[in-house]
Amino acid sequence: MEGRHAHQGLDGVASETGRRIEYTVVGVRGATANFQAAANPSKVYRTDAADLAMQLEIDAADLVGQRFSCWVTPAQYGVFRSDFRRVER
């Protein structure tokens, strides 16, 4: 598999390219969860709240305030986020 397509292997292990980033969910509005990187809280990212809750194995109602990390790999038009892990409070 070419390096530019290897964002996650078949075994679920994150690829060598990219890095692990820690985030905090700062709000949920409708079906959208808003989250910020711990290292750069000035930018707000958005994702589907139900999908994020499923990745973190928690209820969507418990998302706000939840800290998590994931492996972020650059892509041609943005990034891939994989290997989500909850960070204990």
What is the model's pLDDT at position 12?
53
pLDDT, one tens digit per residue, over 68-84 is 999 999 999 999 999 99
Please report which confidence band the pLDDT of residue 2 belongs to, taking 50, 70 and 90 as the band edges: very low
Compute how many other C-beta atoms are within 10 angstroms of the C-beta atom of residue 7. 20
* H or E, element range at 56: helix 49-56
CA-CA distance, 12 to 61, in Å (whole number)? 27
pLDDT in tens, 23-66: 999 999 999 999 999 999 999 999 999 999 999 999 999 999 99
**Going edge to edge, which strands form the sheet with 78-87?**
40-48, 32-37, 19-29, 67-75, 78-87
Q: Which CATH class, in words, describes the domain spanning 3-87?
A: mainly beta
Contact between 86 and 67 under an 8 Å Cβ cutoff? The reply is: yes
Q: How many CB atoms lie within 10 A of CB 56?
A: 20
Kindly report the pTM of this predicted structure.
0.79
